[in-house]
Amino acid sequence: MGKPTGFIEYLRELPVDRSPIERLRDWKEFHHHMEEKKLRQQGARCMDCGVPFCHTGALLSGMASGCPIHNLIPEWNDLIFRGLWREALERLHKTNNFPDFTGRVCPAPCEGSCVLGIHSPPVTIKNIEYAIIEKGWEEGWVAPAPPKVRTNKKVAVVGSGPAGLCAAAQLNKAGHWVTVFEREDRPGGLLMYGIPNMKLDKKEVVLRRLKLLEQEGISFVCKTEVGVNYSAKDMMESFDAVILCTGATKPRDLPIEGRNLKGVHFAMDFLSANTKALLDGKQNGSFISAAGKDVVVIGGGDTGTDCVGTAMRHGCRSLLQIEILPKPPLERAGDNPWPEWPKVYRLDYGQEEAAATFGADPRLYLTTVKKFISDDHGQVKELLTVQVKWEKNEKGAWVPKEVPGSEQARPAQLVLLAMGFLGPEQPLLEQLGLERDPRTNIKAEFEKYTTSLDRVFAAGDCRRGQSLVVWAFNEGRGAARECDRYLMGTTDLP
């Protein structure tokens, strides 16, 4: 590395965020940029560590350790330290089609496995990635690069989320004609309608990438749900190969008393309708509003946090986030060693905003909901919670047990279920007659992506189950590689 002692000389430093109270007034991204001098210092913190675990992309204890797309992190950290921004962008784009997305929404498993993180705060990898790609856009280095030669092979990609976009981009580079089918009115999938604008700006970030992909020759066909208003049979007859990237969009429900009351919604219905109204400029009741309501979010993951941030911007009266798991420790526990993803307590942006408004972190740990309680009009007015403790059952598995006498009624006129997803929606898979695994995901071997139907590949959450955007990138790129190999007999795609 260009600065062997950089990790000793410089402390970890991140750009300052807009204050929680200020950013609640709008839907703009909340991160500020960092000046170049400080970015170069942060790049200098990257050690000459010998074995850079940051880009291993392994699964340890069921969670990502290192970058799943194997970003060449030490290389572009060093290039930033040297002030070679364009070269850094070239290295970044070798492994990552859309660093403008991961630089904003990825939880950065690379930082969790950074060797420096064994004894000191890790390198600010995610922020440096974000800075590189934004510099590239500002300088005009990110420009359309359509393939010079076309193969005249036609590929359909079903779903325009992170896996679908990566698959489409890579297949287009290989010279194939790619058509992406999307059932929503805009392409982008999870990136467009699943992640709120304050985390990932749609007009300034997502749409600029989609426009570039169109300029490179990719066709997007929206308002088209394959298997509904465009038959799977017609698709199979019209294309030489198909890649399914439909995501895992079947939400986990909470089938308890009062579930059918008005005011109890799935998180994605809440988030997607809000973003659609924002993009359409129709903030006039065309979405589920939290304004003036006592809001309860059930679920503690990223989707739950996004519900918190969105409800706060609506102007909710109060907010509570219920989490069945215990509160994480402030530092790594003994059974969570490096380079595993550090399961530690974090105050994410939504909880930070709620704490700034209401005085405390809104999360309530070791708690579950027993029933929803109605008013006289079939509208939820409160819910009954109970504390739990985790104990091993007769098979040795940890299960939650109710704590007697801990029931408590809590006000709620809006309840958002953010408890994860159970797999892909099944109608299209049934039409195609695809084999599925025990979790109802499309059965296709990792790194091969071939399904039980010839010419059909699967990638992303519909194959592996609910996961990170960066894992969807890994799968979309891999499926494109194997699809290209199938079409041409060989492939140059990585």
38-53 pLDDT per residue, tens:
999 999 999 989 899 9
Contact 386, 368 (CB under 8 A): yes
Report pTM. Answer: 0.95
Dump pLDDT digits (tens) for 325-338: 999 999 999 999 99
How far apart (Å, rounded) are the C-alpha atoms in residues 465 and 62? 12
Topology of domain 154-249+422-488, CATH: FAD/NAD(P)-binding domain (3.50.50)
DSSP letters spanning 430-454: HHHT--B-TTS-B---TTT-B-SST
CA 2 remoteness from chain centre: 33
Q: What is the mean pLDDT of the chain?
A: 96
Mean per-residue pLDDT, 333-350: 95
CATH superfamily of 6-139: Alpha-helical ferredoxin (1.10.1060.10)
CA gap 67, 362 in Å, rounded = 31
Helices (H) and strands (E) in the chain, counts: 17, 18
pLDDT band of residue 173 (cuts 50, 70, 90) is very high
What Å distances lie between residue 488 and 178, 217, 480, 481, 493, CA to CA? Answer: 15, 19, 12, 11, 12
What is the 8-class DSSP label of residue 458?
A: E
Which residue reads 């009062």 in tokens?
A: 258
pLDDT in tens, 237-292: 999 999 999 999 999 999 999 999 999 999 999 999 999 999 998 766 679 999 99
Alpha-carbon distance 135 to 45, whole Å? 20
CATH 1.10.1060.10 domain locations along the chain: 6-139
Mean pLDDT of 172-187: 98
Each residue of 145-167: pLDDT tens digit? Answer: 999 999 999 999 999 999 999 99
Cite the residue boundaries of each domain of the chain with CATH code 3.50.50.60: 154-249+422-488, 253-419
pLDDT for 428-449, tens place per residue? 999 999 999 999 999 999 999 9
Fold of 253-419: FAD/NAD(P)-binding domain (3.50.50)
**What percent of the chain has a predicted confidence (pLDDT) above 90?**
95
Please give the average per-residue pLDDT across 186-208, as a whole number.
96
